[in-house]
């Protein structure tokens, strides 16, 4: 008759070897999801500010310049690293009763989270519309 074995040496190491990678992967997924959510929120806010700046401009060219300055400045202030942030569309509502519509696109790099299953980059898009200032003097 043999005695029962109570020798469980190394069992904790085996459990840790299985658990640590799973926990690390879960943490990377949370970080990646948070980064995408934060970038989307900040891009939407910056796009709205760019639309306000475009609506206050006096010409379509000035609107594009103002929107570009505000967009890049707001994204930089928020710490959002876009591979390229650009204005895809700017409305041409400078007939006195129009709207300035700004559509922006930002490529967010996620290459440091590839192991968690994220792609190397994600393209986020945001849009905002503002009414053009109707009581502002415009050049003829």
Element (DSSP H or E) covering residue 29: helix 11-55
pTM of the predicted model over 0.85: no
User: What pLDDT was estimated at residue 62?
Assistant: 85
User: What pLDDT was estimated at residue 41?
Assistant: 94
Rounded Cα gap, residues 47 and 49, in angstroms: 5
Element (DSSP H or E) covering residue 70: helix 60-78
Place of tokens 């709205």: 48
Q: What is the pLDDT of residues 42-79, one digit of tens each?
A: 999 999 999 999 888 887 788 888 988 999 999 999 88
User: What pLDDT was estimated at residue 89?
Assistant: 63
Task: Write the CA distances from 10 to 7, 15, 16, 66, integer angstroms.
Answer: 9, 9, 10, 65
Q: What is the pLDDT of residues 85-133, one digit of tens each?
A: 777 666 656 555 578 888 888 888 888 777 777 888 889 999 998 888 7
Q: Is the CA virtual torsion 16, 18, 24, 26 positive or negative?
A: negative
């Amino acid at each position: 008759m043999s005695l029962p074995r109570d020798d469980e040496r190394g069992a904790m190491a085996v459990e840790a070897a299985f658990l640590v990678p799973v926990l690390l992967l879960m943490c990377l997924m949370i970080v990646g999801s948070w980064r995408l959510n934060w970038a989307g929120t900040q891009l939407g806010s910056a796009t709205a500010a760019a639309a306000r700046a475009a609506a206050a401009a006096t010409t379509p060219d000035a609107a594009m310049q103002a929107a570009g300055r505000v967009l890049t400045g707001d994204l930089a202030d928020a710490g959002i690293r876009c591979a390229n942030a650009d204005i895809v569309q700017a409305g041409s509502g400078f007939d006195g009763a129009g709207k300035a519509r700004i559509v922006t696109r930002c490529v967010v790099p996620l290459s440091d989270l590839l192991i968690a299953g994220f792609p190397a980059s994600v393209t986020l898009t945001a849009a905002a519309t503002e009414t053009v200032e109707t009581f502002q003097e415009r050049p003829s």
